[in-house]
C-alpha cells in the first residue's frame, strides 16, 4: 500500500497565481514563434498574404471605380457601353477570384504552421526535465495541460490567423478607400435655406462616426465574453478530465458498483459546462442586439448620408452608387471590430490560457526562489552522502534520523519511516525533482543513478523498445531478455518482444512492477534508488525479484525506500526517515499567470 498521507500532502498546490498582462502574454507567444523551426516559413507566407491583400485592395478600388460608368450606362440606356462595362467587370472579377483563392490557401497554411509552431514549443517547454512534474504541483495553472497544448493552441492558431488576416485586410482597404471617399466627398455641397455648406471629407467623417459609435457600444456589451469564454474552457477541461478518469478506472468502478457516483460526477461537471455556455449565449444575444441593429441600418446608411447631395442634383446616379460603394468599403473596414467582437473576446481568453501556461512553464524552474535549496555536489570517492539534509514541504521538513550518512558503492540499504513521514518526498529530492530544503546531497562522481518509482512508466511501443529504453547499455539480445523475463516470472512474454500494446493495461500490477525490475536488470546500473516499488509484491514475486537482482546486479548499490525490511540478508543496513512538523514549512511561491479556473475538483473535495 502506498504512503497515501505523504502523497496527498505533496499534491496540494504549492504556488500562488499572479495575473499576467496582455503585454506579457503577447511577448511570450512572440518568444515561442521566434524560436520555432518554422519561423521562416511563417515569415514568407505572411509576406505573401500581405502582397495578395494589397493586390486585392487594388482590385476592389478598380471595381468601385467601375460602378460609375456601369450605372451611368444603365441610366442612359446605352447598350454598347453597358456590354463593354460587363467585359471590364469580368476581367476585374476574374483577377479577384484568383487572388481570393490564393488568399484562402495562404490563410490555411499560416493556420497550419502557426499551430505547429505553438504546439511544438509548448511540448518542448513542458517535457524539459522535471518541468511537467513541478507544474503539476503548482496549483490551478498546472491543471489539464493536455487541453492547453492540444485544443487551446489549435484554437488560438485559428483565431489569430483569421483575426490577423481580417484586420490586415480591413486596414489596407481602409487606406485604399479613404482617399477615394474623401475625393468623392469634396464635391458634396449642402443647400440650407439658400446657404451652401461644404464639409471636406464629409462621408469619411460620417463613416468614422458611425463605425466608432457601433464599436464602442459593441465593446461595452461584449467585453464580458473574455471572462466567460475562459471560464467555459476551464469547465470543459474538468468534464474531459472526469471522463478520462472514469474510462481509466472502469474495472474498479464496475467492481465497486460505482456507476451511480461516476454518473453524478459527470452530470455535475456537465452542468457546470452547460451553465458556462448558457452565460456565454446570454452575452452573445445581448451583443447581437447591437451588431444586428447596426447591420440593418448599414443597408441604407450610406444612401441616407449622400442623399441630400444627390437630390440637390450635384452628383449623378452613377456617382451616388460609387460614393455608396466607397462608403461601404470604408465602413466595413472600420466595423471590423464590431463584426469580430465575439471572436476577439474568444481570442483573448484563449491567448490567456496558452500564454499563461507557457509563462508558468518558464517560471516553474524558479518557484520558491526565496526558499533555500538543497545543495547537490559530486563526491570524487564514488559514494552517496547526505549532510544535514532537510526536505521542505508545506507540512514541515522530512529528514533522516542521522545527520551525516554515507552509502558506499555496492551497499544495500533499507530506508524506512512512519506513514506520512515523507518517504516519496525524500525519493523525489534525491532525484532532483523537489530541490527545496536545506543540507547537501553528494552524488557519486561520474555515475548515473537509476530511480524506480512506485508506479512504473512504460512508453508506447513494443516490449523490446520498453526493455531497451534510454539510460541503458547496448541493446540486449533476445536470449538475455528471455532469461531475465523468466527470472521475474514473465517468461510468457518472451514471444511478444516485437508486439506493440498498451502494456500497462495488459499486465497486472505485480507483472508491471516485475517488468520494471527486468528492465532495470538489463540496464546494468551501478546505483539504484527504489521508492516503495517492492512493498506491494507478494512473497513469491518479491523472492524472484530479489534473486534476480542478486544475480544480475551483484555489485550495484541499491537503496530501497519503503515500509519495512523485506529481507535483512539483502538489505543489511537500515536508515530511518522522520517528519519534523515543527520546522518551517515551505512558503508558496508566485507564478506570474492569469489562469482563473478553480482548483481541480479532487482538490476541492479534499477541502
Q: What is the pLDDT of residue 288?
A: 79
Q: Chain centroid to CA 380: how far?
A: 43
pLDDT digits (tens, 9 = 90+) for 15-47: 444 557 888 888 888 888 888 888 888 889 889
Q: What is the pLDDT of residue 527?
A: 93
- What integer is the mean pLDDT of 250-256? 72
How is 314-381 classified by DSSP, letter by letter?
Answer: SS-HHHHHHHHHHHHHHHHHHTHHHHTHHHHHHHHHHHHHHHHHHHHHHHGGGTTTTS-B-EEEEETT
- What integer is the mean pLDDT of 141-147? 70
Confidence of residue 444 (pLDDT cuts 50, 70, 90): very high
Evaluate whether 440 touches 387 at the Cβ level (below 8 Å). Answer: yes
58 burial level (CB within 10 Å; 0-12, 13-18, 19+): middle
- What integer is the mean pLDDT of 360-377? 70
pLDDT digits (tens, 9 = 90+) for 275-307: 888 888 888 788 778 777 777 777 777 777 777
Residue 533 to residue 76: CA distance in whole angstroms: 94
pLDDT digits (tens, 9 = 90+) for 214-240: 778 877 887 788 778 878 877 887 888
Confidence of residue 604 (pLDDT cuts 50, 70, 90): very low
What average pLDDT is seen over the chain?
A: 79
pLDDT digits (tens, 9 = 90+) for 530-560: 998 888 888 888 889 999 999 999 989 999 9
* 528's grid cell: 539504484
Is the model's pLDDT at 601 over the cut of 60? no
DSSP, res 57: H
Single out the residue of 519, 568, 574 nearest to residue 548, CA to CA.
Answer: 519
Residue 123 to residue 506: CA distance in whole angstroms: 28
Numbers of helices and strands, H then E, in the chain: 21, 16
Confidence of residue 385 (pLDDT cuts 50, 70, 90): very high
| More confident site: 345 or 192 | 345
Q: What is the pLDDT of residue 11?
A: 34
Residue 321 to residue 519: CA distance in whole angstroms: 79
Residue 247 to residue 532: CA distance in whole angstroms: 27
Q: What is the pLDDT of residue 37?
A: 86
pLDDT digits (tens, 9 = 90+) for 508-528: 888 889 999 999 988 888 999
Q: pTM here?
A: 0.60
The number of CA neighbours under 13 Å toward the Cβ of 130 is 14
Is the model's pLDDT at 443 over the cut of 90? yes
CB count in 10 Å sphere of residue 20: 20
How is 155-210 classified by DSSP, letter by letter?
Answer: HHHHHHHHHHHHHHHHHHHHHHHHHHHHHHHTT-EEEETTEEEE-TTHHHHHHHHH
Q: Apex CA 92: angle with CA 86 and CA 97, to 5°? A: 120
Amino acid at each position: 500500500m502506498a504512503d497515501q498521507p505523504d502523497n496527498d500532502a505533496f499534491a496540494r498546490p504549492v504556488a500562488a497565481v499572479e495575473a499576467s498582462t496582455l503585454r506579457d502574454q503577447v511577448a511570450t507567444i512572440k518568444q515561442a514563434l521566434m524560436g520555432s523551426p518554422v519561423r521562416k516559413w511563417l515569415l514568407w507566407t505572411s509576406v505573401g498574404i500581405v502582397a495578395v491583400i494589397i493586390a486585392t485592395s487594388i482590385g476592389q478600388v478598380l471595381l468601385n471605380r467601375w460602378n460609375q460608368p456601369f450605372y451611368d450606362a444603365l441610366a442612359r440606356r446605352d447598350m454598347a457601353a453597358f456590354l463593354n462595362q460587363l467585359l471590364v467587370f469580368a476581367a476585374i472579377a476574374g483577377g479577384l477570384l484568383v487572388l481570393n483563392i490564393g488568399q484562402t490557401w495562404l490563410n490555411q497554411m499560416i493556420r497550419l504552421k502557426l499551430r505547429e509552431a505553438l504546439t511544438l514549443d509548448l511540448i518542448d517547454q513542458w517535457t524539459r526535465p522535471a518541468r511537467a512534474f513541478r507544474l503539476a504541483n503548482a496549483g490551478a495553472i498546472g491543471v489539464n495541460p493536455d487541453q492547453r497544448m492540444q485544443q487551446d493552441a489549435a484554437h488560438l492558431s485559428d483565431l489569430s490567423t483569421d483575426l490577423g488576416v481580417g484586420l490586415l485586410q480591413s486596414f489596407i482597404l481602409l487606406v485604399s478607400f479613404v482617399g477615394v471617399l474623401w475625393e468623392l466627398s469634396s464635391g458634396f455641397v449642402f443647400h440650407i435655406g439658400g446657404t451652401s455648406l461644404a464639409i471636406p471629407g464629409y462621408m469619411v467623417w460620417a463613416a468614422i462616426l458611425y463605425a466608432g459609435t457601433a464599436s464602442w457600444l459593441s465593446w461595452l456589451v461584449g467585453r464580458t465574453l473574455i471572462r466567460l469564454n475562459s471560464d467555459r474552457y476551464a469547465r470543459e477541461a474538468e468534464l474531459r478530465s472526469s471522463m478520462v478518469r472514469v474510462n481509466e478506472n472502469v474495472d474498479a468502478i464496475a467492481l465497486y458498483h460505482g456507476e451511480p457516483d461516476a454518473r453524478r460526477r459527470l452530470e455535475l461537471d456537465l452542468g457546470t459546462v452547460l451553465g458556462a455556455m448558457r452565460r456565454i449565449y446570454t452575452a452573445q444575444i445581448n451583443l447581437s442586439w447591437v451588431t444586428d441593429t447596426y447591420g440593418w441600418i448599414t443597408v441604407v446608411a450610406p444612401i441616407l448620408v449622400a442623399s441630400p447631395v444627390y437630390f440637390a442634383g450635384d452628383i449623378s446616379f452613377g456617382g451616388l452608387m460609387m460614393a455608396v460603394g466607397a462608403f461601404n468599403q470604408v465602413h466595413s473596414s472600420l466595423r471590423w471590430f464590431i463584426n469580430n467582437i465575439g471572436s476577439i473576446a474568444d481570442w483573448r481568453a484563449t491567448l490567456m490560457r496558452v500564454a499563461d501556461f507557457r509563462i508558468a512553464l518558464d517560471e516553474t524552474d524558479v518557484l520558491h526562489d526565496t526558499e533555500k535549496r538543497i545543495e547537490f555536489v559530486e563526491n570524487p570517492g564514488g559514494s552517496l552522502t547526505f549532510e544535514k539534509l532537510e526536505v521542505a514541504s508545506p507540512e514541515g521538513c522530512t529528514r533522516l534520523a542521522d545527520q551525516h550518512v554515507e552509502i558506499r558503492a555496492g551497499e544495500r540499504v533499507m530506508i524506512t519511516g512512519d506513514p506520512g513521514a515523507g518517504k516519496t518526498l525524500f525519493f523525489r529530492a534525491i532525484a532532483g525533482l523537489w530541490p527545496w530544503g536545506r543540507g547537501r546531497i553528494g552524488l557519486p562522481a561520474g555515475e548515473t543513478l537509476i530511480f524506480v518509482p512506485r508506479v512504473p512508466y512504460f512508453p508506447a511501443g513494443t516490449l523490446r523498445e520498453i526493455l531497451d529504453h534510454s539510460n541503458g547499455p547496448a541493446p540486449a539480445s533476445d536470449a538475455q531478455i528471455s532469461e531475465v523475463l523468466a527470472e521475474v516470472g514473465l517468461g510468457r512474454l518472451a514471444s511478444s518482444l516485437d508486439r506493440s500494446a498498451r502494456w500497462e493495461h495488459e499486465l497486472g500490477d505485480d507483472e508491471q512492477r516485475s517488468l520494471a525490475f527486468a528492465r532495470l536488470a538489463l540496464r546494468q546500473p551501478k546505483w539504484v534508488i527504489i521508492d516503495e516499488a517492492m512493498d506491494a509484491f507478494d512473497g513469491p514475486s518479491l523472492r524472484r525479484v530479489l534473486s534476480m537482482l542478486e544475480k544480475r546486479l551483484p555489485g550495484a548499490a541499491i537503496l530501497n525506500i519503503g515500509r519495512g525490511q523485506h529481507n535483512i540478508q539483502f538489505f543489511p543496513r537500515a536508515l530511518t526517515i522522520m517528519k519534523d512538523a515543527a520546522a518551517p514549512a515551505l512558503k508558496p511561491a508566485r507564478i506570474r499567470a492569469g489562469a482563473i479556473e478553480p482548483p481541480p475538483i479532487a482538490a476541492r473535495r479534499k477541502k
